[in-house]
Each structure stands twice: as C-alpha cells, then as structure tokens.
A and B are shown apart, each in its own frame.
Chain A
Amino acid sequence: MIINHPILGPRDAAEFVYLGDAALINRPDGMTASVETFHDYLYLRDNPAGEHRELWYHEQGDRSWLVVTRNTVTHEITKVELARDVARAQGRSK
C-alpha cells in the first residue's frame, strides 16, 4: 500500500505504524468520564468492512500522525489528512 502523505508525497505503508480507528482521536475527558465510557473508548471497535478512517504514524519519516481513509475490503486509500488538522477541525486545541 502507498500512503500519499500530505506533506511528503507518496510513501510506502511499511514506513508507518498502524494504531486503528480514527475515532480514537475523540478521547473522553479523564476527569469526568465514567469507567464504562472509557471501556467503550479503549476496547470496543466498529470494525467495518468497507470505508475505514484510521490513524497511521509515520515512524520512519516525519513522525506525523495521519488520518487515512482506506477501504478494508480492497485496501484502496481514498483520502489522507494530517491528524492534527482533523482534530483541530473537531474543536481540539492540538
């Protein structure tokens, strides 16, 4: 798989480390969230067959986190964004 890095251009997926569903960006507030909320955040996954937004870390490159939109049935990558931009668009400060 080739991941088209928004800054560095096309890079081999082997340069990246995979974390999982991009919903992991939305971590609950540790001071207020219940144990059940954190359990769901940490352990439960949608695990879709088809389009999947997911976090990849460019460990062998510029060490940026990316949100890659990829089809889990065909491995086709349709969109690559900086995770920073995605988080900020959702109202996060960083």
Chain B
Amino acid sequence: MRFSALKILKEALTGHKGWQPMWRDPVPQAEYDYVIVGGGGHGLATAYYLAKEFGQARIAVLEKGYLGGGNVGRNTTIIRSNYLLDGNEPFYEFSLKLWEGLEQDFNFNAMVSQRGILNLIHTDAARDAATRRGNAMLLNGADAELLTRDQVRAMYPWLNFDNARFPIKGGLLQRRGGTVRHDAVAWGYARGADMRGVDLIQNCEVTGLRIEGGRIRGVDTTRGHIGARKVGVAVAGSSGKVMSYAGMRLPIESHVLQAFVSEGLKPFIDGVMTFGAGHFYVSQSDKGGLVFGGDIDGYNSYAQRGNLPVIEDVIEGGMALMPAIGRARLLRTWGGIMDMSMDGSPIIDKTHVDGLYFNGGWCYGGFKATPASGWCFAHLLARDEPHKTAAAYRFDRFLRGAMIDEKGQGAQPNLH
C-alpha cells in the first residue's frame, strides 16, 4: 500500500474505509529458493535486500509470531558507528550509511533522526581511549569529535559535572548517530519486501531443519514442511534453539536486557548520551519519554523480563549522571532476549550444512546493525561469500584466536 497526502485527505473525508493492509498474508508455497527464519529487523532486511539488491526471487520469511514482534520492537532505537576494532567499524559505518539513505530507499518514514550520540569521559584514561576510538572512526570514514568539558557543558548544562567520584571531563561526539522509529524499520522493510514478491509468513514457527546428505532441503514448521534451496537463520535470542535442529552448539548464550521509559517530559535531551563510568544511556523520544537502559541482567534467560536489582543499578547510574530526573516517574520497563556471543561481536557465516546460513550473536547491539546485517546476510546467501565489511564475523574466529572483543573483557558473555 502507498501513502500520499491526497490519499489521507480522501480517507479523512470518506470515513477511513479504504485503507488496505501493508502486506499480503500469503499461504506458504511448497518450496522456495530462499527461506529466511525470523521476521524481525534482520530477517526482513535480509529478504528486502535479497530481492532488491541481489535480484533474487522465490523468497519467504517465516516468523513464529507477528512481524517485528521481537527485539526490533523492544530496543532503545539508537544508531551509531562509534566502534574501535577493524572487524567492527567498517561494518557499522556501512550500516550508518544505509540508515542515512533508508527512508528514500524503501520509501517509508522511519523517522531517522541524526541527533548525535555523546559518550561522556570521566578520567584521563577514558579520554585517551576516546581519542583512540575517535581516530579509528575517522580512519574508517566515520565522523567523530572530541569535546572538552566546556563544549559538553554548552550542550547539557544540567549534567552532574562535579560528581566527586565521576566528574565529567569531556566527551566523544558522533553527530551522525541518533535514533530511529524502530517499529517503522520492520514495517518499511516488510512492505518493501512484500512489494517485491517476498512471502511474509506469520504465525509459522520452525520446528526442525530438514537436512539430507549434509545439505539443507527445507524446514519443518507449525504450518507444514517448506522446501528450500537455502535457509538463512536470523532469530536473535532463539539462535541456540533453531541451530540445535542442525546439531549445532553456538558460541552464544541468551540473556535478558531490560529497557525503560519515563513519563513524558518537556524536551531537554536533544541527543543520545552515554554515561561512561557506570553503564547508562539515555535519549528522549519524540513523545517526551526518557528512553534508557544499562547492563544486561547477567544470567541465561528466555523470559523477556528481568529482575529488580538491575533496575536499581541502571537508575542509580542515571541519577549519578543527571540528578534532575530524580522526580520523574518510571512509566514502563521491559526485557528482550539478547543473543550474547562470547566476544560481544556477531556472526554472519555459513555452517557445516550446505545451504544453511547463520546470522546472530548481536548481543544488545543488533538494532543499529539492521540494514548492514540484512545486506551482508543477503550477500552471503546470494553469492556464497561474505560481504567485505562482514568478513571477520565468522564462527571459526574463536578457534583461530581472532576474537573481536570490542570491550577487551575476555570471552564471557555477561561481561560484554
């Protein structure tokens, strides 16, 4: 369905009876060339780019619930490319460039807002690290600016600059970072894929992978068997479950991450900000709510809800940074299931089964990666070789000792 000002006017005058569904609700066919398991952001983007950029046809996306009902509808909507390591930064910069052209590309308003992301600096060592990170970003064609304390004060005069333990000494600013209307990303990709003939099949849970002679033949689902020449799995927190159908154990644990929204307040945070001393990040939505989060709970979970100690910890971080929010009330908290990889970086790779491909391990950073993840996964599916920006995201990096440990924390999922 297409939208226009004329159409809105016509519908307003005729009782809004002419609106059509945004995408078809097709019956699964017996066989496809490509079956994408998972109708979230990454799966939908993969199908969209497979059809649009790689000219492929006979594609289906299988979703166990409804489109965009998983983490793409549960995140804190931040986009950025402020990474340090060579394995990561070109990929995330590619993703940010795709975000910048996304709305024109799929002709849908995703409210991409490049309002800037500011990482605060609290110590001399942190300034050194931020300088290094900023230089790495610049070398990879991203933008980065090191701000002094006074420059940060000009942006956010009400921050707690003189906190005795964690005084604010500056910041690393990426002006091209920002936020996006997360649900609209799923909807835009879904509509774009549907318009190019991709079958989006909802309420269709994959219950098994049909493998014969080391080659994928299709998937068993709650709506029957569906044959496939190639199967791409992009199911985030359910990665371990789906890949176990192929006998695989993954370098991934599923953890719960909580997020928070306050009551609506008048505009006072116009960008995205991260507290470098604790783990706390915040932006203000267009409706006025403060959208914020912090660490994962830290234990294996599939529950999509967390526990109170982490809520307390996150809000303590917020209060340390900006005491002004002390009287704001918390409106909602929720949890999503993160596919936490061992080194904190993702995997986009083939598997030991011919025609079976995996995309996962996004930890709590999958949203910003959505366009590039879809593009690179489509590249791998269509051409059987990794996209150049995702070449490091391989299963065997743990065996080779080539981990991409952005935080330098070691191979332990709940430390990333």
Interface residues of A (CB under 8 A from B): 1, 12-14, 18-21, 35-36, 39-40, 42-49, 52, 54, 70, 72-75
Contacts and interface: CB of A to CB of B under 8 A. Distances in A.
B307 A1 contact: yes
Nearest to B398: A43
Interface in B127-181: none
B46 to A, nearest CB: 23
Looking at chain B's contact residues, is the secondary structure mostly helix, strand, loop, or mixed? Answer: mixed
B307 A49 contact: no
Contact of A49 (B299, B302, B398, B399): B302
Give the 9 A-B residue pairs with the shortest CB-CB distance, closest first: A47-B240, A14-B309, A44-B249, A43-B251, A49-B302, A43-B398, A18-B299, A39-B399, A72-B300
Contacts of B95: none
A73 B238 CA distance: 12
B252 interface: yes
Contacts of B249: 40, 44-47
Contacts of A46: 240, 244, 249
Contacts of A45: 240, 249-253
Interface in B358-415: 398-399, 411-414
B303 A72 contact: yes
A14 B412 CA distance: 18
Q: Contact residue range for chain B? A: 20 to 34
A14 B253 CA distance: 20
A73 B302 CA distance: 5
Contacts of B250: 44-45, 47
A75 B256 CA distance: 11
Contacts of B253: 20, 45, 47
B398 A39 contact: yes
Nearest to A68: B299
Given A52-B300, A74-B303, A12 B309 contact: yes
Given A18-B299, A75-B303, 6 more contacts: A44-B249, A47-B241, A47-B253, A48-B240, A52-B300, A70-B299
11 contacts: A13-B299, A35-B399, A36-B399, A39-B398, A40-B249, A44-B250, A45-B253, A46-B240, A47-B252, A47-B253, A49-B238
B301 A18 contact: no
A72 B301 contact: yes
B360 to A, nearest CB: 11
A64 to B, nearest CB: 17
B311 to A, nearest CB: 11
Contacts of B239: 47
A74 to B, nearest CB: 7
